[in-house]
Structure 1
Amino acid sequence: GRATGIVVATGMQTEVGRIAGMIEAADETTTPLQANLTQLGKSLTILILVIAAVVFGIGMLRGQESLINMLLTAISLAVAAIPEGLPAIVTITLALGTQRMAKRHALVRKLPAVETLGSTDIIASDKTGTLTQNKMTVEKLVVNQELVDSRATELPLDSHLAQVMILSNDTKIMPDGLAGDPTETALIQYNLDQGYPVDQLLTDRPRVTEVPFDSERKLMSTVHPLEDGRFLVAVKGAPDELLKRVTQIESNGDVQPLTKTSRDQILTVNHELATQALRVLAFAYKVITTVPTTVNTETLENDLVFAGMVGMIDPERPEVEQAVAEAKSAGIRPLMITGDHRDTAEAIAVRLGIINAGEDDAVITGAELDAMSDAEFGKKVGDYSVYARVAPEHKVRIVNAWQKRGKVVAMTGDGVNDAPALKAADIGIGMGITGTEVSKGASDMVLADDNFATIVVAVEEGRKVFANIQKAIQYLLSANLGEVLTLFVMTMLGWQILAPVHILWINLVTDTLPAIALGVEPTEKNIMQHKPRGRNSNFFSGGVFSSIIYQGLLEGGITLLVYWLALTYPVHATASLAHADALTMAFATLGLIQLFHAFNSKSIHESLFTVGLFRNKFFNWAILIAFVMLAMTIVVPGLNGLFHVSHLDAYQWGIVALASLSMVVIVEIVKFFQRRHMRRA
């Protein structure tokens, strides 16, 4: 565009400053992941300190261990109970998620946003370029008060409709094509395709002055000299707004007063075209003898002659309809936001599946939104899925209204005015192609292809990230609970307890590679069939907490059972050797059972044999390496002395293996009944 300006304000007093203030005032929302990790950290810290203190106190009261040994045991117990690998697992899982998303054109600017996408309830998307291709083409013409197909009509060289289409237009004709707004380039392209001498007309009738397009009045006017010394005023804009300034109508070269019948006919055709998902522009003109001293809408845009209308279509992206359906099946509500006419917006929304045919009540205009208070809109926001004729400022109200309902909102935007809404949303999504630097800077994620379908892909990836973190947490906490239970019961019963080195080594072997490997598990096939988990959910939702409890009890119970069996039915008659064997078998069982349990944790509820035993190569290697590290401490001479363990024979290894494997069998049986219960529910 072009402008001559007088500076009337600077800094924060300007419109850009006002927007900067809105961005600054927008609250920095805490992501569900950050909230969940904070809650988890506080709860675990309190619980672990209490358990460690209890174990230390009971051990000292029994008097069987020295102060230093019990202190080391309590410390090692606290270390064992804390999932210290969790921060690394979360970071690695999120980072790998961003890599996968980047390959699919979703560029994440803030790491926690990856997981937040997985909890998205609302996706509020701009229409043009995101839901559609942003490639306008002229489909219909209203000329001489008749609706005709653009491809079957050639406008004469003296046609005022063609002239206004070309003159009231900011498109630049470049050597490599047309540059400008897609709506305007479509008008020029149509006339070029018809063989109209566009360059000649622009040369003969240069622009003298103009009233630029304004989103509030929805009109644009330009002034051009004529051969007889007079001037042509060329006006284009929204039909309903333009008709307010029209007093005459042209038909077959005749100019007649605009009657109510003609006005109603124009509005009817406008509605008809809009319901076909066409964007409609009206064109008018007038001839003046002199250019007004003050050029504005009052002096120029009046007493116009209606020249005709154009119906253009911005075709939907072919993949968006499927993406909308997938979002809906995942319990996510897509919203469409556009500056288009209400009827056009409704028609496109129906074609994309955002709303059903006849759902007029699901569409609201910016004017209707302005007429509502925030409280009233908050009550009714659930009724609307399509926002037509809205300004960027309305987006903040939409975000706030949904967030007050406890929903996680993703909002797209490309303009400077969109920045406050992008900042306020849980996930601000900028446009990589058409977006301004301000909107990208305020966003959490940028779409490299400006495509709605990419948002749905990102949501799927976000759900996968959360699911994998949840699996890792279930595995870590149930394993740590097994360790805590084993030490606690051993202390209570006065048995020879596992040494700190045993606990720390098991923790090192099982809490690192296997847990990280769970963070890169492939996506489960039905992940997009579940409803969003919601803002108030956490890592323990969906039966995870109960699974952690019973699985931790199982691990500890099986380990204690093996220890008891080894003591009750010793291989060696010597008491010291029997105790050494029992402790070694408990150590081996506690480590091996966690490695077997890692297979259980590949899915919260699905069977291990459904999700696949060996799909994750990294997981397979992690388990193998962890097993070798665990076995080495027992079978390698020298190391077993360092770890205070004895050699086990085949019989003892058989008991350890069977006991550890029983963990998989028992959990599979429990999962079977859980799935049956969930299907009935």
Structure 2
Amino acid sequence: LTIMVIVICVVIFGVDIIRHGVGNVLTDPTALLDTFMVAVSLAVAAIPEGLVAVVTIVLSLGVTKMAKRQAIIRKLSAVETLGCTQTICSDKTGTLTQNKMTVVKHELAAPKEKFLAGMALCSDAQWDDDLGEAVGEPTECALVNDAGKAGLTGLTAEHPRVGEAPFDSGRKMMSVVVETLDGEYEQYTKGAPDVVIGLCTHIYEGDKVVPLTEERRAELVAANKAMADEALRVLALASRTYTEVPSDCSPAALEHDLVFCGLSGMIDPVRPEVADAIREAHDAGIRTVMITGDHIDTAVAIAKQLGIVTDRSHAITGADLDRMSDEELDAHIEDYGVYARVQPEHKTRIVEAWKSRDQIVAMTGDGVNDAPSIKRADIGVGMGITGTDVTKNVADMVLADDNFATIIGACEEGRRIYDNIRKVIQFLLSANLAEVFSVFIATLIGFTIFQPVQLLWVNLVTDCFPALALGMEDAEGDIMKRKPRNAKDGVFAGHMGLDCVVQGLIITVLVLASFFVGVYFDMGYIHIADMIAGNADEEGVMMAFITLNMVEIFHCFNMRSRRASLFTMKKENKWLWASAALALVLTVIVTVQPTLAEMFFGPVTLELKGVLAALGLAFLIIPLMEIYKAIMRAVEKE
């Protein structure tokens, strides 16, 4: 815009000097000043002075609206990116599911009381007598609550912990050593069944401990898969007995030659709104990908419920990723919708692979180790409830409710904001182009149609209020039926540049027509020579000014949709009506109030027929735009 303004001003300044004669202009300071003022008028006409303020306010209002929908935007640039998101890589627990674990199934080898106590003791959650339930991480709370239902609530006091190997995502398990009532020490190891079973050499059969045969091991693996296929999160428990406190409580020293105790299957119900959100995302051309540390069978079962995948062939594990080169992963990334048993470092590879397909990627996370992948994604999404401060600080957006559906709502809001900003830009630029064309044509013919103060009034008063109201327009009905826009497309993509020019030309014709009608009303004839001499053109200027203002007020209603007919809009924009009324009142004041009218137009008054003619010409923008929209719909449909 700046380059265009400079070029136009220089060209018009030069043309005006040549038209008046170089010698005459250089020797006549008044003529030189008039020529300079024409160039200033053109600069004022070309620059949409309110654009920066309007766009900033629209973005701010949009971000506020997103916050009310639980999506907190930390970077304004994220709003634009949300509108073109193509792939969402989402954690399962707490985002797609409710993160409310409940144990619903057991596969017992050891006595039930020993199994329940071992699961509760090998947890960092604690039973709260006042609440009557466990407090802590949801998965471990489920295990402690499971023991609590059986009356096992005072376990930590009865069996103090004397050693531990804390949970590690690489080992996928944790171990504790506790003191028993008979003075011995019992180790409990809890973790992923496939890992824990592999560390066991014996198994309980009631109160007895017997060797774990390969046949029995296969039965345990099958039982784990059956529970996982029911969308249960499965954890295994194993134990080991000591006569004294182990001198070395490292994982390597503790986690071997274990006795298998049993499996615990817990359900984390999917969020009821997520399936609909995923369907909406699919309709909008947004692919949802699940990333989880759970067993692949559990992950696939939940992904099927949500409509993310249809069968297990679309799932892959972290171990499989380790065996793939970056080139192989890039080539086959679109084959997978579920990534199970992944480590945090895998997430960065997944993001990079999707981005290699020119996808705009959103990535969710809550842990410190998720920060690199969140930072690498186009849209990093942190969890407001379970997320760490590190994760939130690198995220572009934070979900106050940790809910996947909020991401889809944010994508819709991002599309709405971007659409509205484009409408605002088109509305303001079409008006400014009309001003440029009007001043340019009038200058070439040899008369003055607008003064800088009149153009500033239109740009800062008449245009700004309706532009702000356009920025608050509700989303159009098909906004989540469209495919994501190409992030490489500029703001003028989709024939918007053509729209601005055509609409600017239409407004120019209406404004110039109003000017000449005003001249005719005043003089009874139109004579260019008289107009060039500056005779009797004040009424024409006033009519042109009224028409330009009223065209903008009518045109803002056209811009509620770039393509849909104004008469098909089902929702009303009360802000647009209010802003149009305000702009109308202010325009009437500046043309009727004697002091303001003389400052703007000089000693001239407009008869009723002039006012009605100006209004009639301005109203023509609505039927003319309906015709143009119909033509463009037909062209773009082809």
* TM-score higher than 0.5: yes
Q: 1:437 aligned to 2:389?
A: yes
Deviation digits for residues 619-670 of structure 1 (CA, Å, limit 9, x no counterpart)? 2222122222223333332333222353222222222122111111011122
Structure 1 residue aligned with 2:619, among 661, 670, 674? 661
Q: d(CA) in 2 for partners of 1:263 and 1:569?
A: 101
Q: 1:391 aligned to 2:343?
A: yes
Task: Tell me the SS of whatever aligns to 2:489.
Answer: coil
Q: 1:50 aligned to 2:7?
A: yes
Q: 1:475 aligned to 2:427?
A: yes
Query: Which residue does 1:17 correspond to in 2?
Result: none
Q: 1:640 aligned to 2:597?
A: yes
Query: Which residue does 1:556 correspond to in 2?
Result: 508
**Cα deviation, residue 312, structure 1:** 0.8
2:292 touches 2:340 (CA, 8 Å); kept in 1? yes
2:88 touches 2:287 (CA, 8 Å); kept in 1? yes
**Cα deviation, residue 485, structure 1:** 0.6
Structure 2 residue aligned with 1:112, among 52, 73, 77? 77
Q: d(CA) in 2 for partners of 1:633 and 1:184?
A: 71
Q: d(CA) in 1 for partners of 2:44 and 2:538?
A: 24
Query: Which residue does 1:178 correspond to in 2?
Result: 134
2:126 touches 2:144 (CA, 8 Å); kept in 1? no
**Cα deviation, residue 578, structure 1:** 4.2
Structure 2 residue aligned with 1:89, among 50, 54, 62? 54
Task: Tell me the SS of whatever aligns to 2:582.
Answer: helix
Q: d(CA) in 2 for partners of 1:207 and 1:499?
A: 86
Query: Which residue does 1:22 correspond to in 2?
Result: none
**Cα deviation, residue 376, structure 1:** 2.7
Letter in 1 for 2:234: V
Q: d(CA) in 1 for partners of 2:11 and 2:410?
A: 46
2:462 touches 2:587 (CA, 8 Å); kept in 1? no
Q: Kindly tell me: are residues 654 and 223 of structure 1, through their superposed partners in 2, closer, same or farther at Cα, counting changes over 3 Å?
A: same
Deviation digits for residues 82-131 of structure 1 (CA, Å, limit 9, x no counterpart)? 12212111211111112212222222222332333222222221111111
Query: Which residue does 2:98 correspond to in 1?
Result: 133
Q: 1:320 aligned to 2:274?
A: yes
Question: How many residues are aligned here?
Answer: 621
Q: Kindly tell me: are residues 205 and 640 of structure 1, through their superposed partners in 2, closer, same or farther at Cα, counting changes over 3 Å?
A: closer
2:382 touches 2:398 (CA, 8 Å); kept in 1? yes
**Cα deviation, residue 343, structure 1:** 1.0
- 1:86-485 correspondence to structure 2 within 5 Å: 86-144=51-109, 156-157=112-113, 160-174=114-128, 175-176=130-131, 177-195=133-151, 197-199=152-154, 201-356=155-310, 358=311, 360-485=312-437
Deviation digits for residues 463-495 of structure 1 (CA, Å, limit 9, x no counterpart)? 111111111000001110111111111112223
Q: Which runs of 5+ in 2 are unaligned?
A: 26-30
2:97 touches 2:271 (CA, 8 Å); kept in 1? yes
Q: Kindly tell me: are residues 565 and 296 of structure 1, through their superposed partners in 2, closer, same or farther at Cα, counting changes over 3 Å?
A: same
Q: d(CA) in 2 for partners of 1:230 and 1:465?
A: 66
**Cα deviation, residue 274, structure 1:** 1.1
Q: d(CA) in 2 for partners of 1:330 and 1:243?
A: 44
Q: d(CA) in 2 for partners of 1:571 and 1:382?
A: 73
Query: Which residue does 1:518 correspond to in 2?
Result: 470
- 1:509-658 correspondence to structure 2 within 5 Å: 509-567=461-519, 572=524, 578-611=536-569, 615-644=572-601, 646-658=604-616
Task: Tell me the SS of whatever aligns to 1:198.
Answer: coil
Q: d(CA) in 2 for partners of 1:381 and 1:203?
A: 50
Q: d(CA) in 2 for partners of 1:141 and 1:501?
A: 81
Q: Kindly tell me: are residues 263 and 69 of structure 1, through their superposed partners in 2, closer, same or farther at Cα, counting changes over 3 Å?
A: same
Query: Which residue does 1:25 correspond to in 2?
Result: none
Q: 1:491 aligned to 2:456?
A: no
2:365 touches 2:381 (CA, 8 Å); kept in 1? yes
Q: d(CA) in 2 for partners of 1:516 and 1:470?
A: 12
Q: d(CA) in 2 for partners of 1:120 and 1:156?
A: 49
Deviation digits for residues 214-267 of structure 1 (CA, Å, limit 9, x no counterpart)? 211112222233455433221111111112111122223343222222111111
Q: d(CA) in 2 for partners of 1:210 and 1:643?
A: 84
1:407 touches 1:534 (CA, 8 Å); kept in 2? no
2:239 touches 2:259 (CA, 8 Å); kept in 1? yes
2:164 touches 2:249 (CA, 8 Å); kept in 1? yes
Q: d(CA) in 1 for partners of 2:537 and 2:68?
A: 56
Q: 1:79 aligned to 2:36?
A: no
**Cα deviation, residue 584, structure 1:** 2.3
Q: d(CA) in 2 for partners of 1:434 and 1:293?
A: 36
2:72 touches 2:397 (CA, 8 Å); kept in 1? yes
Structure 2 residue aligned with 1:506, among 458, 461, 467? 458
**Cα deviation, residue 135, structure 1:** 0.8
**Cα deviation, residue 536, structure 1:** 0.7
Q: d(CA) in 2 for partners of 1:107 and 1:559?
A: 45
Letter in 2 for 1:105: Q
Query: Which residue does 2:16 correspond to in 1?
Result: 59
CA RMSD of aligned residues (A): 2.2
Query: Which residue does 2:28 correspond to in 1?
Result: none
Letter in 1 for 2:184: R
2:541 touches 2:601 (CA, 8 Å); kept in 1? no
Q: d(CA) in 1 for partners of 2:459 and 2:191?
A: 70
1:572 touches 1:578 (CA, 8 Å); kept in 2? no
Q: Kindly tell me: are residues 591 and 166 of structure 1, through their superposed partners in 2, closer, same or farther at Cα, counting changes over 3 Å?
A: closer
Deviation digits for residues 45-92 of structure 1 (CA, Å, limit 9, x no counterpart)? 111211121111111111188221221221221122112212111211
Letter in 2 for 1:607: S
**Cα deviation, residue 309, structure 1:** 0.6
1:220 touches 1:237 (CA, 8 Å); kept in 2? yes
2:431 touches 2:552 (CA, 8 Å); kept in 1? yes
Q: 1:670 aligned to 2:633?
A: no
Q: Kindly tell me: are residues 406 and 71 of structure 1, through their superposed partners in 2, closer, same or farther at Cα, counting changes over 3 Å?
A: farther
Greater shift after overlay, 174-183 or 51-60? 174-183
1:588 touches 1:630 (CA, 8 Å); kept in 2? yes
Q: Which runs of 5+ in 1 are unaligned?
A: 1-43, 146-154
Question: How many percent of aligned residue pairs carry the same amino acid?
Answer: 47
Task: Tell me the SS of whatever aligns to 2:72.
Answer: strand
Q: d(CA) in 2 for partners of 1:417 and 1:555?
A: 57
Task: Tell me the SS of whatever aligns to 1:527.
Answer: coil
**Cα deviation, residue 400, structure 1:** 2.6
Q: d(CA) in 2 for partners of 1:273 and 1:595?
A: 65
Q: d(CA) in 2 for partners of 1:67 and 1:384?
A: 71
**Cα deviation, residue 144, structure 1:** 4.0
Q: TM-score, normalised by structure 2?
A: 0.92
Letter in 2 for 1:261: E
Task: Tell me the SS of whatever aligns to 1:515.
Answer: helix
Greater shift after overlay, 395-404 or 460-469? 395-404
Greater shift after overlay, 124-133 or 558-567? 558-567
1:166 touches 1:198 (CA, 8 Å); kept in 2? no
**Cα deviation, residue 550, structure 1:** 0.7
